[in-house]
Every structure is written in structure tokens, then in C-alpha cells.
Amino acid sequence: MSEFQNIGLIGRTESDSAVLSLKRLMAFLEREGFSVVLEKETATAVPGHSARVSSKDKLGELCDLVIVVGGDGSLLGAARALAKYSVPLLGINRGRLGFLTDITPDEIEQKVGEVLAGKYMAESRFLLDMSVTRDGKPVGKGSALNDVVIHPGEFIRMIEFDLYIDGQFVYKQRSDGLIISTPTGSTAYALSGGGPIMHPKLDAISVVPLNPHTLSSRPIVVEGSSEFKVVVGEHNVAKPHVTCDGHDQVVTEPGDVVRIHKKPHRLTLIHPIDHNFYETCRTKLGWQVGG
């Protein structure tokens, strides 16, 4: 008997192709005798179903495995909601790039069947917690699997801030912003900003400045247990925004303090048995295969 009996499903409902894959996956799971639990919004895309329905948060309590049908963005949202429940996630790619969702739609029965039969790889990924305080009082918070980004918001203006790591002053910077990225996020926005690709197993965090005013500002990589403090400068024209995986936006004021550290709960990401990080990089980033 499979270790996974109650399977939660989250789908990208605005995508017709994702809904098609979701219906195909549901039919396969029900045919194989698994109990399916649909996330509430996902359930609206499959009228006439007979599956149980649950909020995204509750899926973590009800399910042994959650399968996300969509792109990496869909999986990021599921990870933020479900990390505290320790329920593993598996991704079917109906997006574009797909570093996290690595089963293709035409492999659903074969690859999902193998996972349910116990043939899979499990990876542990850490997330980041972010909080903003103003005069010592909390004004916003969020969590991220990829990255926490401080940026000018709607204005194309440089912003100024002070960065501290583990209580030690690092620098005062004027730039278009700062990306604080996990290894998972190193192939996302941080990569576009010139940051390093980090292997998912690394216990490390990268700090990537966005278009810094000084050419000497370069990405740095620090240990994963590091605590970050960013103090928003007093003389910013724009009000810097803080986003987590592009969500949970907080608009800051001069003097606000942004704190970022590793989340206590980790995410278990399930891959097919033949998953290979370097092959994914070759495929997604167009690395050369041979001479």
C-alpha cells in the first residue's frame, strides 16, 4: 500500500491547460483508489466532481501528499501555506520555466504512479520569514521559498538602506533594491540580478544588490542561519516595498526595520526518481551539452 493515501490537489484555475491536466490527474488517482481532496478554489474549475474540498491551509492537516498543477508560482504559493504542516509537495508543470514543477503533463500517469509506488526523491528546502517594524511595532510580515526583495515600488528611483548580518554592519547602499535569496530562489529573480546559482542542498543565503550605485557592491553568500536586518534610509524619495516571492507586499517608511531569517519549518519537495538538478539547469537555462 502506498504511504500516500489522501492526495491534495491545487491547480492553476485560470489556465485551461492546467485544468485539463488536473482533470486527467484526478481521473488517474480515483481510478487507482486514492482519496482526493481538492483545494477550495481549484474545486470551482472541476464542476460535478465527487472529491472532498478543503481550504489550502487545511490540506496540510488532511493530506499525506499535495500535488500542484501549474507553474513554479503555484508551487511557491502552496509552499508558503503548507510548510508548517510538513506535508510533501509534488509539482506538475503547466507554467513556463519550471525549476520546481518537474513532471510534464504527458508523464502524469507514469511519473505520479511511480511516486505513489514509493519511487521518488525527497528534498528538504528552507523558507525565509520576513517582518517589518516601525518604532518597534510590527507593521507587516511574510514568508518566502524563493526570495525577499526590497525595491522602490512603483517609482524608478534608487533607494537607500543599511544592511546588517548577525548584528554586524555590512554596508550603506544606494541601489534599485536588494534580493535576499534561498538556494531555491537562486535560479529565479536573484539569477536575473547577477546572483550565483546555488545547489538546493546548500544551507546558504545569497544577498544580491540590484543595480548598486557603486561597482564594488557584489553578491555575497552567507550561512543559512544568518539573521538579516535592513534599516530603511531617512532620505528616500520613494517608499521601499518589501515582497516575499512577489507577494505579501509591505510598504515601508523611513527608519523602518526589515528583519529576515530562516523559517523554523522546512518544505519537503518530491521529485521523480530520475530528477537531476544539473540536467534541469541544462534544459531550462540552455547550457551547452557537448562540443
- Separation between Cα atoms, residue 181 and residue 185, nearest integer Å: 5
SS3 246: coil
Annotated binding residue 236:
no
Annotated binding residue 122:
no
Annotated binding residue 162:
no
Annotated binding residue 16:
no
Q: Which parts of the chain fold into alpha helices (H)?
A: 16-31, 40-43, 56-62, 72-82, 113-116, 189-192, 277-285
Annotated binding residue 190:
yes
Catalytic residue among 72, 102, 245, 256: 72
- Separation between Cα atoms, residue 68 and residue 70, nearest integer Å: 6
Look-up of cell digits 460535478 = 48
Annotated binding residue 50:
no
Annotated binding residue 72:
yes
- Separation between Cα atoms, residue 17 and residue 34, nearest integer Å: 23
Q: Sign of the C-alpha dihedral, residues 259, 261, 266, 271?
A: positive
72 in active site:
yes
Annotated binding residue 203:
no
**Phi, psi (deg, nearest 5) at residue 25:** -65, -45
Q: Which parts of 163-291 fold into alpha helices (H)?
A: 189-192, 277-285
Annotated binding residue 192:
yes
Annotated binding residue 256:
no
Annotated binding residue 188:
yes
Annotated binding residue 187:
yes
- Separation between Cα atoms, residue 88 and residue 59, nearest integer Å: 11
Q: Do 56 and 80 meet the contact criterion of CB atoms below 8 Å apart?
A: no
Known binding site: residues?
72-73, 146-147, 157, 174, 176, 187-192
Known binding site for NAD(+): residues?
72-73, 146-147, 157, 174, 176, 187-192
Catalytically active residues, by annotation = 72
